[in-house]
Structure 1
Amino acid sequence: MGCDGGTIPKRHELVKGPKKVEKVDKDAELVAQWNYCTLSQEILRRPIVACELGRLYNKDAVIEFLLDKSSEKALGKATSHIKSIKNVTELRLSDNPAWEGDKGNTKGDKHDDLQRARFICPVVGLEMNGRHRFCFLRCCGCVFSERALKEIKAEVCHTCGAAFQEDDVIVLNGTKEDVETLKGRMEERRQKAKLGKKAKKPKAVESVSKPDVSEESPGPSKIKTGKPEETSLDSREKKASSAPKSAAANGGSSGKVGKPLCGATKRSIANSEESEAYKSLFTSHSSAKRSKEESAHWVTHTSYCF
């Protein structure tokens, strides 16, 4: 039977009963929630931020997570709702004067009291160790106990004086019910922000696409209503009528006779009203008609021989 050496087995060693449900130590759970970062599992150090679901993080760990969103990274699902640094709020915490930290434990032989909290409520003085419910304001980041907000009801922050609403109050490390309500508020807030951005985009596009009516687009009086064929015929007639006028103007101003038009009669230069100096340039002038005696036989006045 395997009982060599005189050993006697007991009933619980031979008969397997139902497994006992392992209970989580509440004190250890509170220490992990309020003293350690949810993402990196390191001790919380300033600057400390909180998400819209009320979880605490180190700001450096959140920035590293946003820069490197790899699937292999541990605890990525816990921060899947954090899309940018705007989704977290930096907390304004009040130090606990009774907390010494690691100052007296220089040799490592002193017991650290983890039940003593580093931060307290600035209004009531309760320690932020998980025994009491704490919350922060999303608009300014100030942290208070829930008892302080209930006892001293105000629409203004007790520390900085910033105005807030009920939606701005977020419970830190709340229960499952608190997380579900905060998640619903977060989704509604993000949907409103998306709708607001979509409503602003068409207005901006219309303002850019609409040009100035006076400069670019012609008015109804300036638009031509005539047919293209009629306009082309009118333009041809105007060009034909302007051509002889320009030719006559050029000939009168320069003093030179151009080519005669198709319908004009030919006139001799001798009978024209030009000057004698201009007429003497041509062979039809009387000065060009010389006798053979007046001119040498090897020289000719014109380009042809007599």
Structure 2
Amino acid sequence: MKKLIVAGLGSMGWPMASNLLGAGFDITPYDVDTKKVEQFERLGGTGGELSTHLAEADGLLIMVVNAEQVRSLLFDKGMAEKLKQGACIVQMSTVSPGDSAQISREVRAIREDLYYVDAPVSGGVVGAEQGSLTIMCAGNPDALAACRSVFEVLGSSIFQAGYSAGQGSAFKAVNQLLCGVHIAAAAEALALAEKNGLDLEVMVEMLGGSAASSWMLKDRGPRMILPPDDITSMVDIFCKDLGIVCDAAKQSRSYTPLASAAYQLFVASSERGEGKLDDSQVIRTYRLLNGKG
């Protein structure tokens, strides 16, 4: 697999496409923002008629916001119909397990000669830039083998979640449950420390080396005690991702009260106009409730 269409040049898709380009893949970029496409082509991306490139591509890598955008690309814009026989649709966006499985069925309904690989990622913008993403993939064994060289450029950890579309997205839902709950728990703990007048820098250092530590505490904690600045992942991203977690739990009739509580925290922050802030800033909602907002 050497010739790819990369659809979605956002904060994740752009560095992923750039890393593939740097590794020698022939990358044709696509985005609704044509200026991004033109900019990527100036960096070495393949330009020209998209329909022609789709007919020649070994794979279509999709990194967009949600399932609706995935469907728009594949069906409304006709990308699934234009791909060559045997091509892989590598769906790497975060969508619900049910949506991923349904999209796979919709692809198969119009093209039985295509492969659909369910391969969401974890690691955020930093992971995308460094090529150190965690990739959770599910699909036909031959398709997964064909995608291996692509995944090895994009990620440092590749896990086979199964052979059916939806299983990769289910892996991601479990991952995001813990991520969201850990951020919410870290914010609650540091808000409690702040309410009690404790030194937050010392508190973050202490917690980071104790049994109470988590990756999210170490990463988000220092940003929680500073004014809003750099954004690595927005509050609104976790509104979406934890919404997917709650939907997946509902579909499987699973009891996930902590995920639901964390989801409400992120939604409350977003509804207060803070959805575009770094997700560490959910602590501001706790501060408001504690009378320190």
Q: What TM-score does the superposition give when structure 1 sets the normalisation length?
A: 0.24
Relative contact order (C-alpha < 8 Å, sep 6+): which is higher? 2
User: Going by fraction, where is strand more abundant, 1 or 2?
Assistant: 2
User: Going by fraction, where is helix more abundant, 1 or 2?
Assistant: 2
Q: What TM-score does the superposition give when structure 2 sets the normalisation length?
A: 0.25
Which protein has the larger Cα radius of gyration, Structure 1 or Structure 2? Answer: 1
